Amino acid sequence: MSSSDASPIAVPAAANVEDHPVRFLFENTFARLPEYFYVRLDPTPVAAPHLVKLNRELARSLALDPDELASPQGVEILAGNRVAEGAEPLALAYSGHQFGHFVPRLGDGRANLLGEVVGHDGVRYDIQLKGSGPTPFSRGGDGRAALGPVLREYIVSEAMAALGVPTTRALAAVTTGERVLRDTALPGAVLTRVAASHLRVGTFQYFAIRGDTEATRILADYAISRHYPEVAQATQPYKALLDGVIARQARLIAQWMLLGFIHGVMNTDNTSISGETIDYGPCAFMEAYHPATVFSSIDHGGRYAYGNQPRAALWNLARLAETLLPVMVGEAGSEEAAVAAANESLAAFEPQFEAARYSGLRLKLGLSTEHEGDSALAESLLQCMADNRADFTLTFRRLCDAAAGAEGDAGIRTRFADPAAYDTWAAQWRERLQKEPADQQARATAMRRVNPLFIPRNHLVEEALDAASRRQDFQPFEELLKVLSQPYEDRQDLERYAMPARPEESVLQTFCGT
């Protein structure tokens, strides 16, 4: 990921913005759907846009010119003050279950989908402004975003991309020169977000709750065309669509679990049809491992605790299956057959998730082959970590050193409240490693490819957000992004980025920002 200057770039009042045409080469398809799928409207202009960060590497991969985006005209487009040629700004309609409670009309209350571009990889991507002003879906909100949450999403989404997790991406962050009122007045900002699409389980729910089977069919056909073209010719394409979404979500949640990531707001409107991680609000990475860990300030009952995420994902997928039942009836032959088909699809989630999770755990433990008892070995380590408040990321990373030789145990033992508990487990682990074909150094190298050293630790994220919001100092933000862009690489003089928070630094709650 390339860095822009740490200091914000102002758009000069007298700049001739026509001197730097910005070419997005939009090829919009969602805007061709019936207009009750969205509301057409332009972003609301802001007072004084400043470019905080431009993701130049991502821009180039999308066939965009980063110098054009950083020009005065480009910054005006990223702030919502100017509509780019070929853009068709609109706010998407969707519903959603929020913490189990259904809201029939949510939609993009503070976002504008500008259009779609096709990257160098041949994949179609949405370009969306988040925090770009009120829409008919705002439900009384101001439609704006504060700088802190914008930078949080930028940091965490780009970290997830570097970790190899399917995710929306951050193309740019722009300050607005205006204040937004939350608990206090905060500097405003706009995030430019890139996604394979913004279709959600809640998008399907929006039409299903209205009994609009034809709209559901149109949406399902669009999702197949855009994300699952291989199922178009299937005997039962709508069941195959459901199967595809379930498979991607199973793999995605397994990746979250293998990295200690907690989404925080796994509502159906935050569950992507494309299988990407979307909507980074009160998200966080665990430090001390425990399945019941919660950071979100609004998750009072722990519905979306770390260990509950697989169950929450399956619940959301069941809601998707419900919306697809009316269109599955025709291909299944009857309502009874459609329900049976949907239940068959949903039953596949748990084995697919467990297979992905245990496959990942074996790699994290240096096990390239599969033997009976491997899952029990992995679970016993996790239980030992939970009992001893061991840091999730560092425990697995230090195992890479221990795999190269018993002298590496010293770096792990001190992370356990009872070091002898680790010793007991390590003896079983080393006995299992004797069945592996690779030598110690090769095993350690392979383990370092799947066990990151650097994650967006909460106290470091908050440190960067505080400096930016309070002092307009973006250097900590830039430095953190640079470290997180290579999460698996050992680098000198960066120990503070790898270490868990000291007690006085701990961040125990994260906030949504809306």
Active-site residue list = 269
The CA-based dihedral angle spanning residues 35, 37, 40, 41, taken in that order and rounded to the nearest 10 degrees: 160
> Beta-carbon neighbour count of residue 337 at 10 Å?
14
Cβ contacts of 231 within 8 Å, gap of 6 or more: 224, 237, 240, 241, 243, 244
Contact 461, 513 (CB under 8 A): no
Burial of 359 (0-12, 13-18, 19+ CB in 10 A): middle
Helix (H, G, I), strand (E, B) or coil at 277: strand
- Provide Rg for the chain, Cα atoms: 23
The CA-based dihedral angle spanning residues 9, 10, 14, 20, taken in that order and rounded to the nearest 10 degrees: 40
Scanning the structure block, which residue is given the tokens 């607005």? 176
Query: How many helices and strands (H and E) does the chain possess?
Result: 18, 13
Instruction: Tell me how far apart the alpha carbons of residues 313 and 253 are, in angstroms, rounded to a whole number.
Output: 8
Measuring CA to CA, which residue among 134, 137, 147 is closest to residue 184?
A: 147
Question: What b-and-e string marks burial along 86-114, b requiring 16 or more CB atoms within 10 Å of the CB?
Answer: ebbbbbbbbbbbbeeeebeebbbbbbbbb
Instruction: Tell me how far apart the alpha carbons of residues 505 and 486 are, in angstroms, rounded to a whole number.
Output: 24
